[in-house]
Amino acid sequence: MHNIDSYSHLRGESIYLDDIPELSGTLYGAAFGSNVAHGKITNLDLEAAQNLPGVVRIFTYKDIPGENQIGGIVPDEPLFAEDKVDFEGMPVAFVVAESKKIAQKAVKLIKLSTEPLEIITCPRKAKEIGSLIVPPRTFKTGNTEDAFRKCKYIFEGIAETNGQEHLYIETQGAYSIPAENNSIKVYSSTQGPTAVQRHMAAVLGIPMHRIEVDVTRLGGGFGGKEDQATVWAILCALATHHLKRPVKYSLDRMEDMRMSGKRNPYTSDYKIGLDENLKILSYEVSFYQNAGATADLSPAVLERSLFHCTNAYYVPNVVATAYSCRTNLIPNTAFRGFGGPQGMFVIESAIAKAAEELGVNAWEIQRVNLLKTNDEMVYGQKVVSEAISCWDKLDEEFDPQNIHNDVAIFNASNHLFKKGISYMPICFGISFTKILMNQARALVHIYMDGSINVTTGAIEMGQGVNTKMLQVAAKTFSVNAGKIKVSSTNTYKIANTSPSAASATADLNGRAVQVACEAILTRLKTFAAKLLSENENRISIRDEVVYVKDSMTDLKWNDLIIQAYLQRINLSEHGHYATPVVNFDPSIEKGHPFAYHVFGTALTVVKLDCLRGTYEIEAVKVVHDFGTSMNTIIDKGQIEGGIVQGIGWMTMEEIVYDNNGKLRSNALSTYKVPDIYSAPKLIDIVFYKSEAENLAIFNSKAVGEPPLMYGIGTYFALRNAVKAFNPESKIGFSSPLTPEKALLGLYKK
Ligand code: LUZ
Ligand code: MOS
């Protein structure tokens, strides 16, 4: 089954926000964001902007009919600044004009005066002065202090990861259109249509039923549009509400980079203890998350760092503490992996540090500590583990001994080039960690000509979820794919959607499609049995034909449907699914939060130029646990994309703020993302078909986020190459490992 969007994507015919035909009378918006990171507002001068010909109106907090509040988890985020600004780029005013050019020109004429307030950019500093978003949380198992006393080896250190731009190809944006009776229709490039609808209703002071949010697809989301697509949509809707005209705001790349949140940077302290057999007995970690100026999704992101603090390893004694630190940066947000990668980087650093100090290979420590089935995680859930199977399959498929030998020979015979290897096992929990979010709905109609329409709460953002939804319907009804159309995600058709996030979209919405299709199918079988004077238990539909037991009848799908319609049988259904089993008790930080876990292992080989600090990634070889993949082409695409995105985060994507909290890496000329030249020369993916029953749709495990974490392996492979050149290197554990950092690591005394 190919991706149903591939044809229109290739021809440039797929519809994104900017492809929606504009109505006559459409106005264009542009936001004015604060020019300082922290300050008390003393004056906002809009006059020059207001007087620019073509400017229709400029909106500020004074124009909000409802509440000036869009915080998702904590109500700490005004839509517009009122008396102070907390980060550079914080929206202060919204200009609406006859053209985009005029709106942007007017923004430049706005003058904001402020009295400076202290600017904090460092999370450790924020924690020191008690500037936390939410109270700290601790996950705990066993007794680390006792266990450390039994350890033969103990190592401590610091590990740091930087942020990451989402760099979705389609920037943030929205288009709002007035509808009758004070209603609004909004097209939004969002992963969370209900979040847009809910906050818009609160800001406008109208009920949610007046707001229709419609999403055909996004040109990428990666978490950046889980919570942060809301602002732009509400700005447009606010203007539409007042002016009764369509308003569009589609951000330019630099506006997007300057005004939207990124992956949360972390700095962390770790202490790891091992016994003489390299078994990890004890692990303590403190995460200091740079949340930025408001909570956004940061508390939830931080929670996932706690869940994934031991990655794919069994550690009997753990204390993990997490601080969400409020700084004066742009509020950071969800990004593929959602705190998991940040947490996993720390234990991988701890293991690498232990290996270097002990003079063993990191993979010797990794291998003996992998999770086994029924091992209990720090949060109390017993895992069904594929960690060892994936690792051993990797050994079997790729003959690493041979690779190790090649690298050893290469390194012995080359002075100015060194190769490095790493293993990166992953374990990622599937489900929203907020239990209530694990629900979804779908609407299925069969029309009288036999064709089918499916709508779900899932957002297509390039990950191929619509193709999977179509496959679920096609398989359940046993009809050809061509019979089915998946239409746009719309809050009038599907209510109270969870965002498309947490890798769980296909599972949750796919199950809802299945529930709906099965209900219709049951009615169709009962009806067919009546038509054929048969027992309904003997009826099935196969490839659009009705069968009695194993014999084909003359009754075809299209006949069955029209006859059912004529007999007034209900050919529509709304399906609801809520993940069973999952639970979590935050008062003790224990439970069974995940429907299941995804596993895999990556083996990475890099070649470092020790004169220049530049490097090539020669190969990333992966054994990944797909369960039973329902679409191997799409799933392979997710793995490849995830790996390259993870490598970008770990090696070259460097977000830089100056001490005044101003983003310096605010354009594609100063922020480097992986291109085809920096991608691995070889990505080899072995599909590991784990047999255990799981709660995934058709046993096809979630695949969105887990592969990003294979990219962490590239960091450690590069580090090993640096150490191969200079065993005394003082290179720390701080990503990204850019060529500059590699060079310093090679030579700095
Ligand atoms: N979003 C969210 C997520 O709201 N909750 C989650 O647990 C999550 N996990 C991964 C990615 N996005
Ligand atoms: Mo996400 S990080 O929006 O699954």
Could you write out the DSSP letters of every residue in 501-536?
A: -TT-HHHHHHHHHHHHHHHHHHHHHHHHHHHHT--G
Ligand 2: which of 73, 222, 304 to mutate, most ligand atoms within 8 Å of CB?
222
Residue indicated by tokens 């006559």: 24
Ligand 1: which of 307, 333, 428, 432 to mutate, most ligand atoms within 8 Å of CB?
432
Ligand 2 pocket (Cβ < 6 Å) reads: 191, 223, 226, 334-336, 338, 501-502, 705
Answer whether residue 735 shows pLDDT above 80: yes
Per-residue pLDDT, averaged over 411-436, amounts to 98
**Residue 745 and residue 722 in contact, taking contact as beta carbons nearer than 8 Å:** yes
Buried-exposed string 279-316: b where 16+ CB fall within 10 A, e elsewhere: bbbbbbbbbbbbbbbbbbbbbbbbbbbbbbbbbbbbbb
Ligand 1 atom index nearest CA of 303: 7
Q: DSSP labels for 328-382?
A: SSPPPB--TTTTHHHHHHHHHHHHHHHHHHHTS-HHHHHHHTB--TTPBPTTSPB
Ligand 2 atom index nearest CA of 337: 2
Q: What is the pLDDT of residues 577-595, one digit of tens each?
A: 999 999 999 999 999 999 9
Delimit the domains of the chain by residue range. 6-118+166-259, 120-154+263-382, 384-431+594-749, 435-579
Q: Is 708 in the pocket of ligand 1 (CB under 6 A)?
A: no
Determine the Cα angle at 227 with ends 223 and 232, to 5°: 115
Alpha-carbon dihedral sign for residues 701, 707, 708, 710? positive
Q: What is the pLDDT of residues 326-338, one digit of tens each?
A: 999 999 999 999 9
Answer whether residue 4 shows pLDDT above 80: yes
How confident is the prediction for the chain on average, in pLDDT? 98
Answer whether residue 624 shows pLDDT above 90: yes
Buried-exposed string 689-718: b where 16+ CB fall within 10 A, e elsewhere: ebeeebbbbbbbbbbbbbbbbbbbbbbbbb
Distance in Å, CA 710 to ligand 1 centroid: 19
Number of CB atoms found within 10 A of residue 585's CB? 11
* Listed residue (252, 251, 246, 175) closest to 214, CA to CA: 175
**Residue 585 and residue 593 in contact, taking contact as beta carbons nearer than 8 Å:** no
Per-residue pLDDT, averaged over 316-344, amounts to 98
Q: What is the pLDDT of residues 504-513, one digit of tens each?
A: 999 999 999 9
pLDDT in the model for residue 722: 98
pLDDT in the model for residue 749: 75
Percent of the chain with pLDDT over 70: 100
Nearest CA to ligand 2 atom 4: 501
Per-residue pLDDT, averaged over 117-130, amounts to 98
Number of CB atoms found within 10 A of residue 121's CB? 20
Which CATH number applies to 435-579: 3.40.50.300, 3.30.365.10, 1.20.1070.10, 3.65.10.10? Answer: 3.30.365.10
Answer whether residue 650 shows pLDDT above 90: yes
* Listed residue (597, 598, 603) closest to 393, CA to CA: 603
pLDDT in the model for residue 479: 98
In Å, the largest CA–CA distance within the chain is 88
Ligand 2 atom index nearest CA of 224: 3
> Which DSSP letter does residue 121 get?
-
Ligand 2: which of 166, 298, 302, 338 to mutate, most ligand atoms within 8 Å of CB?
338
Q: How far apart are CA 411 and CA 417, in angstroms?
A: 7
Q: Which CA distances in Å does 346 have to 287, 305, 309, 617, 740? A: 9, 10, 8, 22, 22
**Residue 575 and residue 513 in contact, taking contact as beta carbons nearer than 8 Å:** yes
Distance in Å, CA 719 to ligand 2 centroid: 29
HSE value, Cβ hemisphere, 13 Å, CA-based, for 730: 4
Q: Which ligand is nearest to the CA of 430?
A: 1
Q: What is the pLDDT of residues 239-282, one digit of tens each?
A: 999 999 999 999 999 999 999 999 999 999 999 999 999 999 99
Q: Is 431 in the pocket of ligand 1 (CB under 6 A)?
A: no
Q: Is 338 in the pocket of ligand 1 (CB under 6 A)?
A: yes
Q: Which ligand is nearest to the CA of 429?
A: 1
Q: What is the fold of 384-431+594-749? A: Aldehyde Oxidoreductase; domain 4 (3.30.365)
Distance in Å, CA 54 to ligand 2 centroid: 39
Per-residue pLDDT, averaged over 361-386, amounts to 98
Q: Is 432 in the pocket of ligand 1 (CB under 6 A)?
A: yes
Q: Is 300 in the pocket of ligand 1 (CB under 6 A)?
A: yes
Is 120-154+263-382 a domain of CATH 3.40.50.720? no
Q: What is the pLDDT of residues 664-685, one digit of tens each?
A: 999 999 999 999 999 999 999 9
- Answer whether 384-431+594-749 and 435-579 agree in fold: yes
Length of the chain equals 749
Distance in Å, CA 352 to ligand 2 centroid: 28
Number of CB atoms found within 10 A of residue 495's CB? 15
Residue indicated by tokens 């590991």: 688
pLDDT-based confidence at residue 748 (cuts at 50, 70, 90): confident
Per-residue pLDDT, averaged over 384-401, amounts to 97
User: SS3 of 592, please?
Assistant: strand
Distance in Å, CA 249 to ligand 1 centroid: 27
**Residue 90 and residue 83 in contact, taking contact as beta carbons nearer than 8 Å:** no
Is 6-118+166-259 a domain of CATH 3.30.465.10? no
Nearest CA to ligand 2 atom 3: 223
Ligand 2 atom index nearest CA of 301: 2
Answer whether residue 547 shows pLDDT above 80: yes
* Listed residue (487, 623, 615) closest to 215, CA to CA: 487
Ligand 1: which of 74, 164, 297 to mutate, most ligand atoms within 8 Å of CB?
297
Percent of the chain with pLDDT over 90: 99
Ligand 1 atom index nearest CA of 432: 7
Q: Which residues are marked as active site? A: 705
pLDDT in the model for residue 728: 94
Helix or strand (DSSP H, E) at 585: strand 583-585
**Residue 36 and residue 88 in contact, taking contact as beta carbons nearer than 8 Å:** yes
Distance in Å, CA 501 to ligand 1 centroid: 6
